[in-house]
Chains A and B, each alone.
Chain A
Amino acid sequence: MSETKVKHADEIFKSFKMQSVSEFFKKNAAMLGYTGKLRSLTTLVHEGVTNSLDACEEARIFPDISVHISEIGQERYKIIMEDNASGIPLDYITHVFGKMLAGSKAHRNIQSRGQQGIGVSGAVMYSQVTTGKSSEVVTSTGGKAINKVNVKINVEKNAGEIVSRETLKNPGKWRGTRINLEAKNLQYNRSKYGPYSYLKMTAIANPHTRITFIEPDGTKILFDRNVRQIPKHPKEMKPHPHGTSADDILSMIKNSSATRVRTFLVSEFTRVSSKKVEEIEQISGLDLDINPKKVDWEYAEKLVNAIKQITFMAPPTEGLIPIGADSVKLGLEGILSPEFVHTVTRTPQVYHGGIAFIVEVGLAYGGNAGNNGVDIIRYANRTPLIFDQGGCCVTEAVKSIDWKRYGVKDDKAPLTIFVNIVSTHIPYTSAGKQAIATEEEIYTEIRFALMEVGRSLSRYLSGKRRAHEKLTKKKTLLRYVAETSNAIASLVNLEDSSKIAKVLTDIVEKKYDFEEATNGEEEITPVSEENGMEEVSENEE
Chain B
Amino acid sequence: MKNKPSQNVPSILGKFGEEIYEQIMKEESPSIKIPQRGKSNVYFDDNEKVIQLGDKYSKRHFLNVAHTKKFMQTLLVASYCRRLVEENKHAGIRELYYALKHTVEGSKENTFDDQIESNPIIEDLETALDILREELNLTADRRGYIYGDIVIRDDEDEFNASKLGRGGWAVPGTVEEIDFLDLNAKYILVIETAAMCDRLIEEKFAKTNDALLVACQGQAPRGVRRLINRLHTEKKLPVYVFTDGDPYGWYIYSTIKQGSMNLAYLSRRLGVPDAKFIGMTMDDIEEYDLQKVTEKLKDMDKKRINEIMDYEWFKRKEWQDQMKKCLKLGVRIEQQALANKSLEFVAKEYLPEKIENEIFLP
Binding site for B on A (CB under 8 A): 473, 476-477, 479-480, 482-484, 487-488, 490-494, 500, 503-504, 506-508, 510-511
B329 neighbours in A (Cβ, 8 Å): none
Residues of B within 8 A of A504 (CB): 24, 30, 62
Residues of B within 8 A of A479 (CB): 104, 106-107, 109
- Report the bound CA distance from A511 to B63 in whole Å: 8
Residue of B nearest to A476 (CB): B65
| Closest beta carbon of chain A to B84's beta carbon, Å | 12
The CA of A480 and the CA of B76, in the complex, are separated in Å by 11
Q: Given the known A-B contacts A491-B17, A491-B79, are A483 and B71 also in contact in the complex, defined by CB atoms under 8 Å?
A: no
Residues of A within 8 A of B202 (CB): none
Q: Is the CB of B72 within 8 A of A480?
A: yes
Asked if A484 and B75 sit within 8 Å, CB to CB, the answer is yes
A87 to B186, CA, bound (A): 121
Which residues does chain B contribute within 8 Å of A490, judged by CB atoms? 79, 82-83
In the complex, 23 of the A-B residue pairs with CB atoms within 8 angstroms, ordered by the A residue number, are A473-B65, A476-B68, A477-B65, A480-B69, A480-B71, A482-B104, A482-B106, A487-B75, A487-B78, A488-B17, A490-B79, A491-B13, A491-B16, A491-B17, A491-B20, A492-B17, A504-B24, A507-B24, A507-B28, A507-B29, A508-B63, A510-B27, A511-B29
A508 to B78, CA, bound (A): 23
Selected from B13, B25, B27, B76, the residue in CB contact (under 8 A) with A483 is: B76
Q: Which residues on the B side are within 8 Å of A494 (C-beta)? A: 21
- Classify the secondary structure of A's interface with B: helix
Residues of chain A lying within 8 A (CB to CB) of residue B29: 507, 511
Closest to B102 in A: A483
Tell me, in angstroms, the Cα distance from A493 to B29 when the chains sit together.
Answer: 22
> Which residue on B lies nearest to A487, using beta carbons?
B75
Is B111 part of the contact surface with A, judged by Cβ < 8 Å?
yes
Check: B48 CB closer than 8 A to any chain A CB: no
A477–B111 Cα distance when bound, in Å, is 14
Q: Which of B65, B71, B82, B109 contacts A491 (CB 8 A)?
A: B82
| Majority secondary structure of chain B interface residues (helix, strand, loop or mixed) | helix
Q: How far is the CA of A493 from the CA of B65 in the complex (A)?
A: 27
Shortest Cβ distance from B91 into chain A, in angstroms? 16
Chain A residues with CB under 8 Å of B105's CB are 482-483
Whose C-beta in chain A lies nearest to the C-beta of B74? A487
Q: Is A492 touching B76 in the complex (CB atoms < 8 A)? A: no
> Which residues of chain A come closer than 8 Å to B104, judged between CB atoms?
479-480, 482-483
Chain A residues whose C-beta falls within 8 Å of the C-beta of B62 in the assembled complex: 477, 480, 484, 504, 507
Which B residues are within 8 Å of any A CB, using their own CB?
13-14, 16-18, 20-21, 24-25, 27-30, 62-63, 65, 68-69, 71-72, 75-76, 78-79, 82-83, 104-107, 109, 111
Known interface pairs A488-B75, A504-B30. Does A480 touch B21 (Cβ–Cβ under 8 Å)?
no
Residue of chain A at shortest CB distance from B20: A488
Give the chain B neighbours of A480 by CB distance below 8 A.
62, 68-69, 71-72, 104
Which residues of chain A are near B68, meaning CB under 8 Å?
Answer: 476-477, 480
A42, chain B: closest CB distance, angstroms = 49
Question: By the criterion CB–CB under 8 Å, are A492 and B30 in contact?
Answer: no
Residues of A within 8 A of B25 (CB): 503
**Contact call A500/B24, Cβ cutoff below 8 A:** yes
Chain A residues near B111 (CB, 8 Å)?
483
Cβ contacts under 8 Å, B78 to chain A: 487, 491
Bound together, the chains give a CA A506 to CA B26 distance in angstroms of: 12
Beta-carbon contact of A488 and B14 below 8 Å = no
Asked if A507 and B18 sit within 8 Å, CB to CB, the answer is: no
Q: Which residues of A contact B76 (CB under 8 A)?
A: 483, 487
Q: A490-B82, A492-B21 are in contact. List 18 more A-B contacts (CB 8 A).
A: A477-B65, A477-B68, A479-B104, A479-B106, A480-B68, A480-B69, A480-B71, A480-B72, A482-B104, A488-B79, A490-B79, A491-B17, A491-B79, A494-B21, A500-B21, A507-B29, A508-B63, A510-B27
- Distance in angstroms from B106 CB to nearest chain A CB is 7
Find out whether the CB atom of A484 lies under 8 angstroms from the CB atom of B71: yes
Measured CB to CB, the closest approach of chain A to B284, in angstroms, equals 54
Whether the pair A477, B14 counts as a contact (CB closer than 8 A) is no
A173-B24 Cα distance, complex, nearest whole Å: 76
Considering the chains assembled together, what is the distance between the CA atoms of A511 and B29 in angstroms?
Answer: 9
* Cα–Cα distance between A494 and B21 once the two chains are bound (Å): 10
| A492 to B82 alpha-carbon distance, docked (Å) | 10
Q: Kindly provide the distance from the CB of A223 to the nearest chain B CB, expressed in whole angstroms.
A: 42
Q: Which of B24, B65, B69 has the most CB of A within 10 A?
A: B24
**Shortest distance between the CB of B218 and any CB in chain A (Å):** 35
For the complex, what is the distance from the CA of A504 to the CA of B71, rounded to whole Å?
A: 13
Whether A483 contacts B72 by the Cβ 8 Å rule is yes
- Please state if A487 and B106 are interface contacts (CB–CB under 8 Å): no
- Residue in A closest to B86 when the chains form the complex, CB atoms: A493
Given A504-B30, A507-B27, A511-B29, check contact A492 B18 (CB 8 Å): yes
B residues near A508, Cβ cutoff 8 Å: 63
| CB closest residue in chain A, given B111 | A483
Establish whether residues A488 and B24, one from each chain, have CB atoms under 8 Å apart when the complex forms: yes
Chain A residue with the shortest CB-CB distance to B14: A492
Chain A residues lying within 8 Å of B71, measured Cβ to Cβ, are: 480, 484
Out of A473, A487, A500, A510, name the residue touching B79 (CB < 8 Å): A487
How far apart are B18's CB and chain A's nearest CB, in angstroms? 6
A493 CB contact (under 8 Å) in B14, B27, B72, B106? B14
What A residues does B27 contact at CB under 8 A?
503, 506-507, 510
User: Smallest Cβ distance from B20 to chain A, in angstroms?
Assistant: 6
Hey, which chain A residues are within 8 Å of B30, CB to CB? Answer: 504, 507
Most buried by A among B25, B28, B65: B65
| Distance of A491 from chain B, by nearest CB (Å) | 3
Smallest distance from the beta carbon of B249 to chain A beta carbons, Å?
A: 43
Tell me whether B75 and A507 are in contact (CB under 8 A).
no
* Residue contact B65 to A488, C-beta cutoff 8 Å: no
Q: How far is the CA of A511 from the CA of B65 in the complex (A)?
A: 12
Q: A488: shortest Cβ distance to chain B, in Å?
A: 6
A-B pairs, top 5 by smallest CB distance, nearest first, are A491-B17, A487-B75, A492-B17, A491-B79, A490-B79
Q: Which residue of A lies closest to B83 (CB)?
A: A490
Contact A491 B106 (CB under 8 A): no
In the complex, what distance in Å separates the CA atom of A408 from the CA atom of B18? Answer: 49
Chain B residue with the shortest CB-CB distance to A479: B107
How near does chain B come to A495, taking the closest CB pair, in angstroms? 14
Point out the residues of chain A lying under 8 angstroms from B16, CB to CB.
Answer: 491
A493 and B86 alpha carbons, distance in the complex (Å): 12
B248 to chain A, nearest CB (A): 40
Q: For B65, what are the chain A residues with a Cβ–Cβ distance below 8 Å?
A: 473, 476-477
Least CB distance, A218 to chain B, in whole angstroms: 44
Write out the residue numbers on chain A whose beta carbons fall within 8 Å of the beta carbon of B72.
480, 483-484, 487
Output the residue of A487, A500, A503 with the most chain B CB within 10 A. Answer: A487
Residue in chain B with minimal CB distance to A484: B72
C-alpha spacing A477/B106, complex, angstroms: 12
B103's nearest neighbour on chain A, judged by CB, is: A483
CB distance from B121 to the nearest CB of A (A): 12
Residues of B within 8 A of A492 (CB): 14, 17-18, 21
Shortest distance from the beta carbon of B257 to any chain A beta carbon, whole Å: 37
Cα distance A504–B29 in the bound complex, in angstroms: 9
A508 vs B14: C-alpha distance in the bound complex, in angstroms?
24
The chain A residue sitting closest to B109, CB to CB, is A479
A483, A494, A510 pick with most chain B CB within 10 angstroms: A483
Q: In whole angstroms, what is the CA distance A9 to B18 when docked?
A: 116
B307 nearest CB across to chain A (Å): 38
